[in-house]
Structure 1
């Protein structure tokens, strides 16, 4: 049997079956990867920057579709109301390191008197000299972000010190900045800030992906073909082994026939 299995003809069949099986398995895995990738969010068209005042009127909610869109605003930083958002990791993409630090949350006072919360950057410690906000009129460019949910922050054993927050929430900022008209959401500048403040990454907008079910069908098709190739290989080898056994049986029968039919000698 081993001689038959390792005959030149069957060796070629073995190699062909292995090659087909590997190729079809890889092709199926590739189509499965295309299917999985199609369902992931992908970058959307990044529209031109718009004035933050055009997103919504003061006191109104900004539509969620505006998340991560580029905005501009002109005004002066209200340095007396600056806050620190605790337990924020530096962004690797923006040149950050390890550990946790603080976001610099400084309100920008617009010409109409409303305040726009602006994340100007990241500092490692509350007393960092780079935390000082610039004075005078400024133009801020960044990406608008919706308010963070209250359960976004990790649980704490003790309350934060005065001047620090766990989340950037419009509802909370209205209470922290009494008497101020706070616009919905906040702006992340996303660009390096002079004075040593590290930038906070602001990703572009994304859209939800839609699964390409056709690629999933292609993956299943390639794997079915692989199974069919194994089926053909098995039957081909089985038939070859049966044929070899039959040939040996016939040879043995022919060799035994003369002895059985011989006449006795005198």
Structure 2
């Protein structure tokens, strides 16, 4: 049997089937990856910046289409009411609280607009409370950045009680109590640029994204390639089985040598 399996014709068949299996498995996995990627978020259109007053209101949640939109805001910072958002890294999408304990602080400063309302601005990130960048610019500033929805107070697992002047989340509901005299617009602005320029480390914030629909055709292609691979194994099995069966039949048809009894009778 081993001699039959290692015959040149079958060795070529073995190598061909191995190549087919590797190729078809890879092609199926590639199509599956395309299918999985098709359902992930995609970058949405990123319109030109608009005034923050067009997308935010006092006492009304910002709409879904406003999230991560580029906005501008002009006003004066209220240095006396600046807060530090504790246990944060310089990325708005990164987890905070206990997951980022001791990583640093966001500078959360109220920006008072000309109409008297307040926009919560994350001016940037500092590693320590004593960092010189915590100093608030004076005078009128124009802030460019992206709008984010207010965080929920339970969005992070808190590390414990925070000192006065620090908060765990950028929650509009909480800020209304911290800044009782301010008419706070919903959401917050993550600054990406400022005039006059600021030297604080900016907090990374992504552009708008939209959910993608799965492309089921790619999943069908993946299954198709794997079915082809199974069919190749099926055909290989039949070729090998037929070769072994033919070898056994040829061996059974060969004339048998005469035994001792036949030689005595002769």
> Structure 2-normalised TM-score?
0.90
Give 1:244 deviation, angstroms: 0.9
Q: Identify if the C-alpha distance between structure 1 residues 82 and 247 changes in structure 2 by more than 3 Å, giving closer, same or farther.
A: same
- 1:205 match: 208
TM-score where L is the length of structure 1: 0.90
Tell me the distance in 1 between the aligned counterparts of 2:57 and 2:151. Answer: 20
Q: What is aligned with 2:130?
A: 127
Give the distance between the partners of 1:77 and 1:210, measured in 2 at CA: 43
Hey, what does 1:41 align to over in structure 2? 41
Structure 2, unaligned stretches of length 5 or more? Answer: 94-100
Deviation (angstroms), 1:153: 2.1
Please tell me whether the aligned partners of residues 89 and 99 of structure 1 are also in contact (alpha carbons under 8 angstroms).
no
- Contact map agreement 2:69 2:207 (CA 8 A) in 1: yes
| CA distance 1:212–1:260, change in 2 (3 Å) | farther
TM-fit CA distance, 1:250: 1.1
Q: Is residue 185 from structure 1 mapped to residue 187 from structure 2 by the alignment?
A: yes
1:242 has 2:241 as partner: no
Match of 1:161 in 2: 163
Distance, in Å, in 2 between the alignment partners of 1:77 and 1:56 is 18
The answer on whether the counterparts of 1:101 and 1:122 sit within 8 Å (CA) in structure 2 is yes
Partner of 1:88: helix, strand, or coil?
Answer: coil
In structure 2, the residue matched to 1:15 is 15
**Contact 1:83–1:163 (CA<8 Å) still a contact in 2?**
yes
Matches within 5 A, 1:1-266: 1-91=1-91, 100-157=103-160, 159-191=161-193, 196-251=199-254, 254-256=255-257
Contact 1:43 1:207 (C-alpha < 8 Å) held by counterparts: yes
Post-superposition Cα deviations, 1:207-256, rounded to whole Å, max 9, x if no partner, equal 011111111111111111100100000010010011011111111xx244
* Contact 2:42 2:209 (C-alpha < 8 Å) held by counterparts: yes
Contact 1:191 1:200 in 2 (8 A): no
User: CA 1:177 to 1:69, structure 2 compared with 1: closer, same or farther past 3 Å?
Assistant: same
Deviation at 1:263, TM superposition (A): 10
Residue pair 2:76, 2:140 contacting (<8 A) in 1 also: yes
In 2, the alpha carbon distance for the partners of 1:99 and 1:86 equals: 8
Contact map agreement 1:90 1:99 (CA 8 A) in 2: no
| Contiguous gaps of at least 5 residues in structure 1 | none
Distance 2:12 2:144 in 1: 67
Q: Work out the CA distance in 1 between the residues paired with 2:39 and 2:9.
A: 46
